[in-house]
Amino acid sequence: MTNEQLAARIIELLGGQENILTMENCMTRIRTNIQDPAKVDVAGLKATKGVLGVVNDEPTYIQVVLGPGRVREIMDICTQKMGIREQKPGQAQTSPQRIGDWEANKAAVKSRQKHTELIKQVRVLADIFTPMIPAFIASGICNGLGKLIKIMMDNGTLPDGVVMLVISNIIVLIGNAFLSYLAIFTGVRSAKQFGVNEMLGGMIGAASLNSVVNTIAQALGWYNADVVNNSILTTGAGGIIGVVVGVWILAKIEKWVHKWMPEVLDVSFTPVVAMLIAMPAFVLVVMPVTGFVSNGISAFLNLFVNSSNPIVSAITGYVLAATFLPLVLLGLHRGLIPFYTLQLESLGGITLFPAVAMAGAGQVGAAIGLYIKAKRVGNARLNQVIMGALPAGILGIGEPLIYGVTLPMMKPFITAGLGAGFGGAYVMVKGVMSTAFSPSGILAATHVMPEHVLDYVIGTLISYVAGALITYFAIPDEDVASV
C-alpha cells in the first residue's frame, strides 16, 4: 500500500474528510479531532496494513500510530493534497496526547482525568520544543560523531590531514549550527505557540545572545567580570526558559497594542511599540529572574542526577526509569523536554535522558519474559504478537509492544517499569550522558557520548534481563494463557 493509498484509507475509516475537524502529527502518530465518532471504524483502522495502533480513549479524539518517518509523509498528503485542516499551534484540543490502549483500562482513564488541566499546561511548553526534536537528533548525533572522530584523530586511528580535518569540522558544524542558536529557534517556536509574529519571537531569542546585554549589565553594575556566572545579568542569562517567558510577555503586549493602534498604523507601528516595551522588560527583568531560577533548577537537578553519592544516583536513576512510562500515559513526559535542554545548555549533555530511555528497554525485557512463559503455556497467538512488536521495541519504537502486549495485560506494564529501574540506576551511577533526547532504544547509542556508549548498552541489557525475570516470575501462568 502506497502512502497515498494509506492516507486515503485512514481518512475513509475516520468517517471521511467532512468528519475530521483538525489533524496534527507528532513523531509517531497522527492525532485527529472527530465530529461524529459513530462514523469512525476503529476496528478497520487497527486492521489496516501500515497502522501500528489506534488510541481512542476519548471518542472525538482519535490517534493513529504510524511510526516515525512515515507519519510526516502521511500527514502532508492528508493536509496538502486532501484538504484536511491541520491543527494550529495554541488551538484547543479535545484531549492531550497519551500513549496506551485505554479501551483495555477505562477505569485508568477516569482516574487520570483530574490531571487534564496540568497536562494542558505541560503541553503548551512541550509543544514549543517537540517540532525541534529532529534538529536535536541531527545535532546530537553529529556532536557525538565529531567528538569520536577527534578522539580517533588524536590517537592516530584516523589521519589528521586536510581532508579529514574538513570532514570532521563539517560534522561539528552540523552539531553546532542548531545548539549555538537554540535561543533563536526557541523564540521562533514560542512566538508561533503564543500567537505573535515568529520573527519578533526570534528577535527576543537573538537579543539574549547579543553581547550588548553585557554592556547594559556593566552600565548597571550587574556584571561580574571575575566570575561571569555570578553576574545578575549577562549574555544568555535565563537561557531558553527566559526566552519562552520573554516571548509570552511580548505576545501579551503585542495583542494589547494591537487593540488601540489605529488600523492604518497597525502594520508598521504595532511591532515597533510592542518590542520597545517588551525588550526592556525582557532584558532588565526576565533575564535576571529566569537566570536565577534556571541556576536554581540546575543546582537542584545536580543534587540528584549528578550526585557524587552512588546511592543517591542509583535511586534517582531507578525512579526515573521506573516511572517514565506512567508519565507518558498521563501526557506529563513532555514536561521533561525543557529540563533536557536546560541540562544541554548548562552541562553540554543530558543525563536525564539515558536513564528514562531504559523504560523502553524494560518493556522489551517484559515482552521477552512473556514470550518465554507464553511458549511454555502454549499461547501461540501472544508469541506471534510479541515477535512482531519486539524488533521495533529494541529500536526504540515502543508503541507496538505497549499497545499489543504489556498495557492490555497491565501487570507486565508494571513489571517492565520495575525492571527498567535497574538499568536506569546503572546508567545514572555511571554518569552516562547523551547529546540529544531522541531516539531511544538501542538507536540512542548513536548520540550517547562515545566514552559512555558501552555503559549505555550494558544498562539496556540490564533492563532487558531485569524486566524479563521480574515479569516471568511475577505474572501468573493463567494470566498468560488466557490472553
Angle of the 287-305 helix axis to the 310-330 helix axis, nearest 10? 120
Helices of type H across 180-238: 182-194, 198-209, 212-220
The Cα–Cα gap between 166 and 38 comes to 60
Active site residue 142: no
Burial of 443 (0-12, 13-18, 19+ CB in 10 A): middle
Q: CB neighbours (10 Å) of residue 299?
A: 11
CB 189 within 8 A of CB 131: yes
Strand partners of residue 62: 32
C-alpha cell at 448: 550517547
The Cα–Cα gap between 459 and 475 comes to 24
Strand partners of residue 61: 33, 58
The DSSP result for 333-391, as a single string, is GGGGHHHHHHHHHHHSSBSHHHHHTHHHHHHHHHHHHHHHHHHHHT-HHHHHHHHHHHH
Residues in the chain: 483
Backbone phi, then psi, for 197, in 5-degree steps? -55, 130
CB 382 within 8 A of CB 339: no
Helix (H) or strand (E) holding 146: helix 133-154
Q: Catalytic residue, from 11, 23, 26, 364: name it.
A: 26
CB 20 within 8 A of CB 26: no
Strand partners of residue 350: 434
Specify the residue for cell string 527583568.
285
CB 63 within 8 A of CB 56: yes
CB 320 within 8 A of CB 253: no
* 3-state SS, residue 110: helix
Residues taking part in catalysis? 26
